[in-house]
Structure formats: structure tokens, C-alpha cells
Amino acid sequence: MVTIYVDNMPYQVREGQNLLVACLSLGFDIPHFCWHPALHSVGSCRLCAVKIFRDENDTRGRIFMSCMTPATEGVRISINDPEARHFRASVIEWLMLNHPHDCPVCDEGGECHLQDMTVMTGHVYRRTRKKKRTYSNQNLGPFINHEMNRCIQCYRCVRFYRDYAGGRDLDVFGVHSRVYFGRLEEGALENEFSGNLVEICPTGVFTDKTFKKRYTRKWDLQTAPSICVHCGLGCNTIAGERYGTLRRILNRYNGQVNGYFLCDRGRFGYDFLNSDRRVREPLAKTGQGSGSTALEPISADEALSRLVDIVQNSSRVIGIGSPRTPLEANFALRDLVGEENFSSGMAQAEQDLVSLIVHILREGPAPSASLRELESADAALILGEDLTNTAPMMALYLRQSVRRKPMAVVNELRIPGWLDAAVRGAVQGNKGPLFIAAPIAAGLDDVATETYHAAPDDIARLGFAVAHELDTQAPAVVDLPADRHALAVRIAAALREAERPVVVSGTSSMSPAVIQAAANVAWALHSRGRQVTLSFVAPECNSLGVALMEGRSLEDAIEMAERGQVDTVVTLENDLFARAPRDLVDRLRASCRNFVVIDHCLTGTAEVADLVLPAAAFAESQGTLVNNEGRAQRSYRVFPAPDPIGESRRWLSKAVMARARGRTEEWESFDDLVTRMRQALPVFQPVSNLAPSADARIVGRKIARQPHRCSGRTAMLANVSMREPPPPRDADSPLSFSMEGFQGISPPPLNPRYWAPGWNSAQSLNKFQEEIAGPLRGGDPGQRLIEPRDNGGREYFNAIPVAFSPSDDEWLILPSYHIFGSEELSALSPAIAERIPSAYVAIGEEDADLLGMSEGMLARVEIAGAAESLPARIVADLPRGVALLPKGLERLKGLAIPVRARIGKAVQAEKS
């Protein structure tokens, strides 16, 4: 710690920071543009000028850029010095020369960093009548709106897009005063993190296009802390609502999870909530018997009486839960049907993989890595994952991790780590060790030290071999070709050198061996005394959560139903057709008398149900999700779903009421349900510590979901009723659906938005952090449910698979993943839908030659007797004998992959 003097008052700050960060951490307001906590300092905007004095006798001082000056012992600065203020105001005046007169029509207005900084510097009146420079805009695809006129040339966009996120297609063009930020040619931004430009850009050049047609100012948005449901990482988000519809998603900083960024799926996938696939009222088959008649809307009362009737008259009910639904809803279902009748809703293969991951993380000793830890890893091995498409944010952080090792140079050169341009100059193109073993080339390959493209079994074998190289106790792989062996040795060497290596794997190869191999590598590294962490990609937002509930697999449940002991099946927010082959689901449907589906979207499963109950989706319901790290996180309602849509657990509580009178009070509140869950399943003990309980208050007040300047209260419903109704009550959380309530800095799990006086943009975050880029004030939210048991008595996995051998007539079908399309909910959002590729079959070059096929040619894929014609996509690195089918795309749902298939040229006639 060093002492610095700000306007003659001494303060203790951490050494080695720059003055801007130090002052912001202390709570001072220093205007800035080009500096961003994740992108560090380049000193180009000249706005963060402060006066620095030599000593206490120096009255003149000199102006320095605070972002470029380290906080050293005894440095004396003045933020309020008139000359410094004047300097900053001049910078704004100069930036305003060409800024268009756009605020009223700009989506950034009211949460614009440029606006905030302009007001903060106090420049109000223009002194020039010079003409303004203008630019033409580009169409940057369905996510991002481009308005170049507003640009202030801070370079944040390209520094994020290119330097941080590894994008290629956004660049800076032009010279002199005509500098242009855009693409070479119009077209959608390719990078998976383009949405962050919305928050990175300090003004309105890049804005959220999905928000544009139903735009609402920040002060009118009702917001709540939410968790992204579109992959297993559990990124923290802020979801915003107005007039009963969900309007947008912003990043919610969590120092341990997503930091400052979100992927595009998480940011733009929310719109499924407003899609026409939403179930907005209860539906039922009105005729007797099933299947024959269509679903028709019924009233909520009737739906309830039907539900009660079904539950009361059923001797045995099977409940099929869902890995995309919070713990509480799953538990409510489990409580309704009983432990033995509860299915996790995952297919056997998936459940085995997730259970294996849980097992490995529990056994230890290598702990699970948070995303923040991934960023600080100094070596990484990825086994069998295409991270950019399965867990995009993980890819973003691993991309940063390759800079760890070269940073040593920077330290040697005594360049501060935050001096971004200097650091990049010193590091040059050097990258730390990152090894990727996956079936095909993935988004991270450009920063990888080495890549290895092979079938899952071969990937697993490489992993086992690396483990053996690290620790001879680990089982050895026999018959490993020399080149693979050499690779294993190189990988092992690189990992061994690292201090904080990380091993990444996951479920996407659908191979337990790959996961086991990853565990072996991590354990071997641990035995060598490395601070190794493991990171597994989980398929869905609550996969680990339902796995911890230890329900039956889907196949198991179907089998049970078929044995004829079951008359009712209740499916909770789960599209079974996406998980199991069609015939299996049809058999389930046929074997029970009543098939009830509770879901928010009309899935294939819902379409065949007798009774569909409309469920609240993520922003309309409260619940706990367990991410891939084993971190349980609470997501809150942003707005109450309009009647008769209800939270799943509410429908279930009504069913429970019917089934067992008197038990309902245990269920009445969310907190009671959590308590009951903790009693029934001790693994969920920490869940009640995730966030303050519903009766928590700050000085007697709930926390307001609406900003204190929310407008239109007395007019928004005036066309319906002149009597202003009281805001809806929220008995389940300490948040209120109102502008009344606490508006300051809340406990981190409950912060509904980032706003501070004078800081209306997302940059207000600095007021919420203990220190810049550090944890939130009060600690980052979330609690890990799985900690490794450090008993030391663990054994290496030794089921090493045999090497994959391609056959000439059958191909191993593996899933390929797409950030847009592989996840079912986000795929319903119109903006995402525009970016979903059409279905295809991917084959390697060799196989293509063998089959005589070329790119785009129709291929006939025959799996278990059923055939499908798909255009072929030729992929260079795909190993022989392996073909890929995109996961989740409409025509390919429910395929039980990995599976073997015959592939041939499609006969033209079959094309239809």
C-alpha cells in the first residue's frame, strides 16, 4: 500500500495501480473515455487529466493523464484544480465539435458515458459554429446498430473487438479526422461477443438493435438481477422490462463469473420470452382420449381443476424435471411425485456425463475453476470442446489467459500491466501455452499453441497419455503413435511449467472417456504440486443442479411408464423430443393416461400433451441455477408474468395441495421451499445463503426494481383504469416491483441495476466494486455447492478407450455446436434466428473424396433406419470416419448421438 494525496487529503491505495484506477476505487469521479477496466490504459482521450504536484510546496503543478501515471508513494494530485477542470472541459468541447445533435433519438441517451462525462466536466455552451463531420453507417447484422456520426474516436470498440475478443472483421479505417470504425464491407459482425460493443462504446455508435423498435430509457426499465439461461456458465445479467415485455439484457458484473462481458447468445437470446411460441394461457385437449384433438385455450380455473382432478385420480405420477429450470421448480416437482418417481429430464447418456463431472469435482483434489480463474490461468488444455460455441464466455477468458505467460516479459521490463499499448508492444504476438484437442477447428484455434483434431476416443487417449507423462502413477496409453506421444510430452511439459494450469473439458463430445482423461491430467498436475483447476462445460444452465438431485434418466422414466404402473406424467419445462428419439417419447406418451406439460414455450412435447400449463420464463420467475462450476446463483423476477401465466412452482404447489392437503404452507413462500429442499437434499445447504431472504430489508425498505426516476406511473394504465393499482407484491424476494424502495448499492445478489449519481451508464459499476475490476462491494454473489474432498485416496481413471478406427461404410456421428441455434430457447429469438445456420452434415476432406462429394451437395444420412437428406459441408480438419450433425437445429432434434450412421450421396428424387 502506498499513500497518495488527493486534493491534500491522504489516502491508502494499492501500489502499482494507475492514478485513475486508484481514484475511482476511492470513490472520486474522474472523467475518462478510452480507459476501460478490462482494456486498461492507452492515454488517447486526454480526458482523465489531473494536476500533479512535486511536493506540498508546489502550487503550480503539471497536468498529467491519471490513467497513464502510476500511484506511487506520496504523489500529490488535484482533481478539482481549476486548470485541470478547464483542461478536461476543453477536451469535451473538442469532442463535441463533431458530435451530432442526436440525444433525443439516440438509444444511449440517459445511460451514455459521453453524456455523463460532458456534464461531469461542466462544458455546456458551444463556442463554434463550424460544420460537423458526418459518416455513412453500415448494416452490422441483427444485433448491433451502427451510427458512426456519434463516434468520439476513443478506440474502445476495436480494442475490445480485436485485442480482447479476437474478432477480425471490425477495424478502424481512414486517416486524419476521417477515422472510421466499422467493417470493410457491410455485414453481420462475426465475433460472438459483438454485443459487448453496446456497453463498451461510451456513446451511441454501437447500440442494441433488438432494443431499438421498442426502445425504453434506462430510467423507465424495471430491472432485476438475473442469470443467463442459454448455456451452463451462469453469466449474471440484468434483464429489463417495460409495459409487461422483456426489453433487453445487460451484463451484470460478477467478479468471479462473467466480469464485464456477455456473449451474444446471452445478450440477444432473451427475446424467446416475447415470441409467438409463448404459451400465454392454459391449453387442453378438449375431447376425450389423447392425440386426436387439438389443444385449445381454457381458463385458468378450468386448468387448475383439471390439474387437481388429474393429480387426485392418479395412483402414480412421474415427474420429468429439466436441466433448464431452476432447482426450486425441479424440487417442487420431485416433492409432488416423490423421490422415486422423479426424473432429471436428461437422457441417460447426458446424465451419465454430468454425473461423472459432479463425481470428479467432488472427488477432487482439483477444484472447479471459476471464469475469473480461467482468465488468470497460465496454461490450458482443452479436451473435446468447441468452447466458442458451447461456452462462449469461457473461450473469451481463455483467450485472455494466453497473455499470462508472456506478461512475465512485461514485468521484467518494469512496464505496468495496465499500460496497454506498451504491454502489447512488449508481448508482441507471444502467447502462453493453450492446447486444444477437439474433433474440428474451433474459435480459439487462432491463439492455440497446438491443436489436435481427432475423434473423441483419440482425444481421450491423448489426455490419458498427457496424464501419464505428468505422473507415472496414471495409467499409460499403449499403442500411441509416436507423433501423438510427442504431442503428449510437449503438452505435459508446458503444463508442468505452469503455476496455475487449467484443464477444460465437457459434455459436448458425449464421451465419458474424454472427461475422465481431463480429470486424470488435472489430478496428475495436482500431484506435482500445481495449483491446477478443472473446468467442465455443462450443457445447460442447471445441468449440474438437476444432476445433484439424482433423479432417474429419461429412458428410465419411460421404461417405468411402459411397465404400466403410471397413469400420469408431468413434464416440467422440458422438450423431450430434443432429448430422446421421437419414438421413445411417443411410447411414453402412449403409456400414460394423462400427459401434463408445464412450459413457457409451445414445444413439441407440449403439443402432444393433454394439458399445458403456461409457465413463467426466466425473467418472470425466481430460482436458483447451478452453473458448470457448481456455483449456485439466484435469479429474480424482473416482472410478474401476466395472468394466467404462473411460475412453475406455483402450478406445482397447487397440484401438491390437491394431492396432499395440509402440506401447502411449507410451499407458500420461496424461502420455505428452499428450506424444504435443503432438508430433503443436504447438498443444497448453501442455497439459502445465496441472497438475503424475502424478509430482508435495508432500513426497513425493499429494494426497488424500478429506478427512482421511473416515469409514467399515473398514465401507463390510465387507458385501462383510472385507479392506479398498487404495484404487484413480491412475497418471494426482498425486491419490490416499484420505484419505492431502496435505491442505493444493495447486497450484490440483489443489485437490480448499476447506476450512481452522475454515472448513468454501465460505467457506474466502479461505484459498486470494492476496487476497480475487483469483487463487488459485499462480495461476488453465488455459492459453490461442490468442493473437492481432499482425501487423497483417489484413483486415476484407467478405462482408456481403444483408438478410433474409421470404417468405410459407417461414420461416427458427433454433434457440432453453434452459438446460435444449438440452444433451444435463444433460437426462438428473432435476432438470433437470423444467425442460425441451416442444417448440414459435416464430413472430412478425405471422406468427401471417398464419397465423391463436394461442398453443398446433398448427402443422405441414415441413422438406425431413418434417413435424412442434408447438404454436405466439407471440413478440412475433421478426422476420417467422423461426421458432424449440428446440435439442436430444428430438423435434427432428438438424435441420440454419438451414433453410427451410413452416409451416401442423396438420390435426387429423395430430395423432396
Partner 1 sequence: MEEAPDIQTELENKFGTGLLSPQGTRDDISTFWVPKDRILETLRYLKRDIPGPFAMLYDLTAIDERLRNHRDGQPESDFSVVYHLLSFDRNQDVRLKVALKGDRPRLPSSVSVWPAANWYEREVYDMFGVTFDGHPNLRRILMPPTWKGHPLRKEHPARATEMGIFQLTEEKAVAEEAAARFRPEEWGMKPAVGDVDYMFLNMGPQHPSTHGVLRIMLALDGEQIVDAALDIGYHHRGAEKMAERQSWHTFIPYTDRIDYLGGVMNNLPYVLAVEKLAGIRAPDKAKVIRVMMAEFFRIASHLVFYGTFGQDLGALSPVFFTFNDRERVFDVVEAVTGGRMHPMWFRIGGVAQDLPNGWERLVKEFVDYFPPRLAEYDKLLMQSPILKARAKGVGSYTREDAVEWGVTGPGLRACGFEWDFRKKRPYSGYEQFQFDIPVGQNGDCYDRAVVRVEEMRQSLRIIEQCLKNMPEGPYMADHPLATPPLKKRTMHDIETLITHFLGVSWGPVIPPGEASYGIEATKGNNGYYLISDGNTGAYRARIRTPSFAHLQMIPYIGRGLLVPDLVALLGSIDYVLADVDR
Partner 2 sequence: MGKSMVSLIRAAWTMLTHTFRRRVTVQYPDERIRYFPRAKGRIILSRDPDGGERCVACYLCAAACPVDCISLQATEDEHGRRYPEFFRINFSRCILCGFCEEACPTYAIQLTPDFEMCEYHRWALVYEKEDLLISGPGKYPGYNFYKVAGLAISGKGKGEAENEEPPVDVRSLMP
Which residue in 17, 25, 78, 115 binds partner 1 (CB under 8 A)? 115
The partner in contact with residue 135, picked from partner 1, partner 2, none with C-beta cut-offs of 5 to 8 angstroms by kind, is partner 2
662 contributes a contact to partner 1 by CB under 8 A: no
Contact pattern from residue 211 through residue 240 relative to partner 1, giving x for each residue in contact according to CB under 8 A and a dash for the rest: ------x-x---------------------
727 contributes a contact to partner 2 by CB under 8 A: no
Query: H-helix or E-strand containing 295?
Result: strand 295-297
Question: Closest approach of Cβ 89 to partner 1, in Å?
Answer: 9
Q: Which is closer to partner 2, CB of 100 or CB of 775?
A: 100
Q: How far is CA 224 from CA 152, 158, 207, 751, 835, in A?
A: 31, 30, 21, 7, 28
Q: Which is closer to partner 1, CB of 100 or CB of 475?
A: 100
> Concatenated DSSP letters for 35-80?
-BTTTBB---S--SEEEEESSTT--S-EEEEGGGSB--TT-EEESS
Interactions with partner 1, residue window 42-101 (CB under 8 A): 92-93, 96, 99-101
Q: Which is closer to partner 1, CB of 123 or CB of 399?
A: 123
Which residue in 32, 51, 123, 526 binds partner 1 (CB under 8 A)? 123
Contacts of 727 by beta carbon, 8 Å cutoff, 6+ apart: 736, 737, 738, 740
> Concatenated DSSP letters for 629-653?
TSEEEEE--SSPPPTT-B-HHHHHH
The partner in contact with residue 180, picked from partner 2, partner 1, none with C-beta cut-offs of 5 to 8 angstroms by kind, is partner 2
Q: Quote the distance between the C-alpha of residue 697 and its chain's center.
A: 30
| Strand, helix or coil for residue 892 | helix
Give the sign of the dihedral formed by CA 410, CA 413, CA 414, CA 420: negative
Contact pattern from residue 725 through residue 764 relative to partner 1, giving x for each residue in contact according to CB under 8 A and a dash for the rest: xxx----------xxx-x-x------------xx-x----
Stretch that binds partner 1, among 53-61, 110-118, 389-397, 568-576 (CB under 8 A): 110-118
134 contributes a contact to partner 2 by CB under 8 A: yes
Question: Closest approach of Cβ 148 to partner 2, in Å?
Answer: 9
Cell of 440: 474440428
Cell of 609: 400433451
Please give the Cα distance from 35 to 21 (Å, whole number): 9
Stretch that binds partner 2, among 25-33, 327-335, 655-663, 711-719 (CB under 8 A): 711-719
Cell of 513: 472417456
Question: Closest approach of Cβ 36 to partner 2, in Å?
Answer: 25
213 contributes a contact to partner 2 by CB under 8 A: yes
The partner in contact with residue 137, picked from partner 2, partner 1, none with C-beta cut-offs of 5 to 8 angstroms by kind, is partner 2
The partner in contact with residue 93, picked from partner 2, partner 1, none with C-beta cut-offs of 5 to 8 angstroms by kind, is partner 1
Counting other chains too, the contacts that 85-89 makes at CB distance below 8 Å and 24 or more residues apart are 85/121, 85/122, 87/46, 87/49, 87/63, 88/31, 88/47, 88/48, 88/49, 88/121, 89/121, 89/122, 89/123
The partner in contact with residue 149, picked from partner 1, partner 2, none with C-beta cut-offs of 5 to 8 angstroms by kind, is partner 2
Which residue in 430, 472, 711, 798 binds partner 2 (CB under 8 A)? 711
Please give the Cα distance from 745 to 764 (Å, whole number): 11
Closest C-alpha among 468, 494, 399, 418 to residue 17: 418
Which residue in 215, 490, 567, 830 binds partner 2 (CB under 8 A)? 215
Please give the Cα distance from 665 to 807 (Å, whole number): 61
Please give the Cα distance from 199 to 474 (Å, whole number): 47
The partner in contact with residue 14, picked from partner 1, partner 2, none with C-beta cut-offs of 5 to 8 angstroms by kind, is none
Please give the Cα distance from 426 to 412 (Å, whole number): 10
Question: Closest approach of Cβ 223 to partner 2, in Å?
Answer: 16
| Strand, helix or coil for residue 190 | coil
Please give the Cα distance from 657 to 675 (Å, whole number): 18
Which residue in 10, 174, 728, 856 binds partner 2 (CB under 8 A)? 174
Binding residues for partner 2, total number by CB under 8 A? 49
The side-by-side arrangement of strands in the sheet containing 2-6 is 9-13, 2-6, 76-78, 49-53, 62-65
Which residue in 2, 26, 96, 103 binds partner 2 (CB under 8 A)? 103
Cell of 837: 445456420
The partner in contact with residue 144, picked from partner 2, partner 1, none with C-beta cut-offs of 5 to 8 angstroms by kind, is none
CB 864: neighbour CB atoms within 10 A? 12
Contact pattern from residue 236 through residue 275 relative to partner 2, giving x for each residue in contact according to CB under 8 A and a dash for the rest: ------xx--------------------------------
Quote the DSSP letter at residue 460. Answer: H
716 contributes a contact to partner 2 by CB under 8 A: yes
Question: Closest approach of Cβ 147 to partner 2, in Å?
Answer: 7
706 contributes a contact to partner 2 by CB under 8 A: no
109 contributes a contact to partner 2 by CB under 8 A: yes
Strand partners, 505: 536
Which residue in 54, 713, 891, 902 binds partner 1 (CB under 8 A)? 713
Which residue in 118, 258, 344, 507 binds partner 1 (CB under 8 A)? 118
62 contributes a contact to partner 2 by CB under 8 A: no
Burial of residue 372 (CB within 10 Å: 0-12, 13-18, 19+) is middle
The partner in contact with residue 178, picked from partner 1, partner 2, none with C-beta cut-offs of 5 to 8 angstroms by kind, is partner 2
Cell of 138: 453500415
Question: Closest approach of Cβ 699 to partner 1, in Å?
Answer: 5
Contacts of 146 by beta carbon, 8 Å cutoff, 6+ apart: 137, 138, 139, 140, 182, 205, 206
Strand partners, 180: 173
The partner in contact with residue 758, picked from partner 2, partner 1, none with C-beta cut-offs of 5 to 8 angstroms by kind, is partner 1
**Interface positions with partner 2 (CB under 8 A):** 100-106, 109-110, 129-137, 147, 149-150, 173-178, 180, 212-217, 219-220, 242-243, 709-716, 718-719, 722
**Interface positions with partner 1 (CB under 8 A):** 92-93, 96, 99-104, 109-110, 114-116, 118-119, 121-126, 217, 219, 697-701, 708-709, 713, 723-727, 738-740, 742, 744, 757-758, 760
